[in-house]
Amino acid sequence: MCLIAIVYINDIYNITGSENNGMNIIISNSSDKPIYEQITSQIKQMIISGDLQPGDQLPSMRMLAKELRISVITTKRAYEDLERDGFIYTIVGKGSFVADKNMEFVREEQLRIVEEHLSKAVEGAKAGGISLEELQDIIRMIYEEE
């Protein structure tokens, strides 16, 4: 089970779990992204990166809602989205757990995230008058640095 502590700093709720999974969720009230999406995207990233392992138990919807000071409906929506996307599964009366990774789905999710970031980069490049060739050179340099 994931134990949780909460810190409130400048409109950001920081939920840090202890035990094995080291769950850390940051919720910003000033973000354009709805709170359930903030929760969903951060838990997905923790699963994809391996911070959360298959079988790890997530905090209950009620506990997470209480610690974040949000509605249980919001955490329910986040957990439903995670379950629908195959990242978690729920056992009635026991809780929600990280599902075994479907590597094809994980790759698709990573590609979606990269496309989202690249779309913003292309938008910025166009606004700044940067050509496609220059943008490709920048991406190549960054990719080869890492």
Q: Is 67 among the domain residues?
A: yes
**How many domains are there within the chain?**
2
Instruction: Please give the pLDDT value at position 31.
Output: 87
Alpha carbons 66 and 60: distance in angstroms, whole number? 10
In a domain, 56, yes or no: yes
Residue 66 belongs to what domain range? 35-98
> What's the rounded mean pLDDT across residues 49-56?
89
pTM above 0.75, yes or no: no
DSSP string, 1-26: --EEEEEEETTEEEEEEESSS--EEE
Query: Exposed, middle or buried: residue 18 (CB in 10 Å: 0-12, 13-18, 19+)?
Result: exposed
* Domain at 76, CATH number: 1.10.10.10
Summarize pLDDT for 90-145 with one digit per residue, the tens: 999 999 999 987 777 778 888 988 999 999 999 999 999 999 999 999 999 998 98
Does residue 18 have a pLDDT over 70?
A: no
